[in-house]
Amino acid sequence: MTYKEPIFDVAQLSHVEIFSPRMDESLHFFKNLLGLSETERDGNSVYLRAYEDFYHHSLKLTYRETPGLGHVGWRSSSPQALERRVQSLEASGLGKGWIEGDRGYGKAYEFVTPDGHPQRILWDVEYYQAPEDQKTKLLSRPQRRPTRGVPVRRLDHVNLLASDVTKNKQFFIDHLGFNLREHIELDDGREGGAWLSVSPLVHEIAFLGDRTGKGNRLHHIAFWYGYPQHLADISDIFVEEGIRIEAGPGKHGVSQAMFLYVFEPGGNRVELFGDAGYLIFDPAWKPLKWTQDQIEEAIIWFGSPLPNEYFIYGTPHDTPPYQAGK
């Protein structure tokens, strides 16, 4: 029997669009506290990036009455890889067709997850060029490290609430070449969560079972610090600013991430990732399966527990969005 070779057609999570009903407060949060820079504005949208994000933007923040996910953007590993993935997506029945692109990137192919979460895949991107006074001698940094807030370094991953984890997970494996890294098996046999990646990161995308049954919602987006101290630093500032921390700092068993969960003022959950977790280089990685009796360690290896709300709240949601202030 022939060994099934891995697919390397998706290279990375390139950007995410989220909706906020409170643009000014959300922008204060992302720019002054997390140190994101604004690249451009267009209509109801503001394009933002962290200081080690190389492209035009990694976060598009768009005004809408209800918070939630706009779309997730993926970059292929070559133009040919994009064509191959589009063929597969079209065959899946979940493809939506080509669009002309957006600020910061060219033509993109739209599709949805089985749950309906909007996605785009693309090849052409525009690289960010820093203005003169933001140029740095550090070649691997597209701009200087900001002196505002506790600046995050790059977009890390996205986590989506799904009505059926297995279906959504399998779609990413089959049609986009993702690898399942870790998952949770509940006592009733259903998958409670699945973490998938195309790189040594444990996940660029995860699906969590939506206990409300709704699905097609955003659980959180995550930005990366890489240094645990920064989770303490930004926590200190969040408390003083009245930004609600949901959980953390702590360490997950899944992914070994040093985490902090917080609600941006628009109501979306944001994770801040304080280290590199562990990285997967084994090409024949066998997915780690956490069973229900191991779930405690899976969720929290040590530190702050997750409140029940963590497993229920996503955006959009039925209850009023979280306010600035505890």
Q: Do 160 and 168 meet the contact criterion of CB atoms below 8 Å apart?
A: yes
Task: Identify the residue among 112, 276, 306, 324 touching a copy of itself (CB under 8 A).
Answer: 276
x-marked contacts with a copy of itself along 31-70 as a string, rule CB under 8 A: -xx------------------x-x----------------
Smallest distance from the beta carbon of 174 to a copy of itself, in angstroms?
A: 18
Provide long-range contacts, Cβ within 8 A and 24+ apart, for 87-96.
88/174, 88/175, 88/176, 89/121, 89/175, 89/176, 91/175, 92/171, 92/174, 92/175, 94/171, 94/175
Binding flag, residue 244, a copy of itself (CB under 8 A):
no
Q: Which is nearer to a copy of itself, 164 or 275 (CB)?
A: 275
Q: Give the pair of three-digit tokens for residue 109.
A: 């192919």
Binding flag, residue 85, a copy of itself (CB under 8 A):
no
Smallest distance from the beta carbon of 305 to a copy of itself, in angstroms?
A: 7
Q: Which of residues 169-188 bind a copy of itself (CB under 8 A)?
A: 182
Binding flag, residue 26, a copy of itself (CB under 8 A):
no
Q: Which is nearer to a copy of itself, 126 or 164 (CB)?
A: 126
Among 180, 161, 159, smallest CA distance to 169 is for 180
Binding flag, residue 288, a copy of itself (CB under 8 A):
yes
163, 184, 324 from 166: Cα distances, Å: 9, 11, 35
Q: Give the pair of three-digit tokens for residue 311.
A: 């497993």
Q: Give the relative orientation of helices 79-92 and 165-176 as an angle to the nearest 10 degrees.
A: 140
Q: Which is nearer to a copy of itself, 186 or 276 (CB)?
A: 276
